[in-house]
Amino acid sequence: MPRRGTLGSLLALLLVGGCTASPHQESPPVGYPFGGAGHVSAAEQAVLASAEDLAVTDCMARQGLTYLSRPVRPTPDPGNPYGLLSADDARATGYGLNALAARETTDPNTALVARLDPPAQDHWRQVLLGTDRNLQKIVLSDGSIFSYRSDACTYQAHLRVVGPAWDALYMQVSAETAAFADDVQADPRVTASHTAWSTCMRHRGYEFSTLTDARQAASDKPLAQEREIATADATCQQQSQMWPAITAAATTLESRSQALQARTQHLRTLRATAATTANTLLSR
C-alpha cells in the first residue's frame, strides 16, 4: 500500500472497509459518470481498507513483529463530484460532516510502538512503511506522480487485496473523472442552475455563491445547524433544477467519452475482484 502520509492518504482514498459488502449491492450513486462504474463508495472503501489492515498484520508477523489490526468503520460518502444532495440525506445527517468527525479513532499501534526502545521503533516503522531505496513512482498521463515504497508491509497488503493493476487505473480514472466533472459544471445549463440556486439560498437567509461555500459554512456547526444548511441546500437544488441540468450535461459528455467509459468499466471489474478478496480475508 502507498505510504501512509504520502500515498498513505491514498489508503483512505482508494480503499475503505469494515463491513462485507459487494460493490454491486448499492444503487448507482447519483452524479458519477457512467452509473458510478468508476466510483469506489465509502462503504466499499471501508471493506477494502479493513482487509488491507488485516493483511498488514500477516506481513508484519512474517518479520517477527506485532501489528494490531482494527476494522475501518464506514463513514458517510464524501459526496459526488457536483455536490448534489438529496433532501432525505440532508434532513437525516446534513452533509455527514458531524458523523465523519464522530467516527475518528485512535491507532492501537501507537501505544504498542511506544513500549519499544528507539531502535526497535525505527525497525517497526521501516517494515511497516518501507525504505527509500525501494521508492517507486506511478506517472499519470497528466504528469501527476504518485510514489510508494514497494517493500512496505502496507503496500504488500494493498497488493494482496486489490492487485497490481489497481493503483494506476484508479488514479487515472479519478483524474479523468474530476476533469469530466469540471466540463459538466461549465455547461451553460449547469451554470444557470447554480445562479438560480444561489438566489434561492439568499431568499432563505444564506449568502452562498457556490455549493462548496454552503458545505464549508456547515463544517464547524453542530449537527442541528448542519442539517438546516444542508436541507436548504438540497431544497434549492431541487427548485433550481440542478439535478436535471447536470444529468443532461453529463449525458452529452458521456457520449463523447468512450475511452473513459472503458476505463471505468475495467475499474468496476477490479472492484468486484477486490471485494471478493477482501471479504474472504475478513471472514477468516
- Residue 105 is assigned to a structural domain of this protein: yes
Per-residue pLDDT at 139 exceeds 80: yes
**277: which residues sit within 8 A by CB, 6+ positions away?**
51, 160, 161, 162, 163
Nearest to 257 by CA among 180, 164, 161, 146: 180
Question: Looking at residue 107, what is its pLDDT?
Answer: 87
pLDDT for the residue numbered 38: 84
* The pLDDT of residue 2: 37
Q: Cβ distance 134 to 149 under 8 Å? A: yes
Per-residue pLDDT of 146-194, as tens digits, reads 889 999 999 999 999 999 999 989 988 988 998 999 999 999 999 999 9
- Quick check: is 247 in a domain? no
Whether residue 26 has pLDDT greater than 50? no
Would 174 be classed as within a structural domain?
yes
Task: Region of 130 please: left (phi>0), alpha (psi -120 to 50) or beta.
Answer: left
Closest CA to 184 of 255, 235, 258: 255
With 90 as the cut, is the pLDDT of residue 35 above it? no
Specify which residues 135 forms β-bridges with: 149
Residue 172 lies in a domain: yes
The reported pLDDT for the residue numbered 197 is 98
Q: Are 28 and 281 in contact, with CB atoms under 8 Å apart? A: no
Domain contains 249: no
Q: Which domain holds residue 71?
A: 8-178+258-282
> Is the per-residue pLDDT at 274 higher than 90?
yes
- 138: enclosing H helix or E strand: strand 135-139
**How would you classify residue 239: left for phi > 0, otherwise alpha for psi between -120 and 50, otherwise beta?**
alpha
pLDDT score of 71: 86
Lowest mean pLDDT among 2-6, 27-31, 99-103, 221-225: 2-6
Tally of structural domains, the chain: 1
Mean pLDDT of the chain: 85
Joined together, the cell numbers standing for residue 18 give: 469494515
* Per-residue pLDDT tens digits for 196-237: 999 999 999 999 999 999 999 999 999 999 999 999 999 999
CB 215 within 8 A of CB 80: no
Mean pLDDT of 118-139: 94
Asked if the model's pLDDT at residue 45 lies above 60, the reply is yes
Query: Looking at the domain assignment, is residue 208 inside a domain?
Result: no
DSSP state of 76: -
Distances (CA, A) of 215 to 112, 133, 198, 219, 220: 38, 42, 13, 6, 10
Q: What is the pLDDT of residues 77-122, one digit of tens each?
A: 667 889 999 899 899 989 988 766 655 567 899 999 999 999 999 9
Nearest CA to 57 among 43, 74, 70, 44? 70
Name the band, by pLDDT with cuts 50, 70 and 90, for residue 37.
confident
Q: Is residue 87 part of a domain?
A: yes
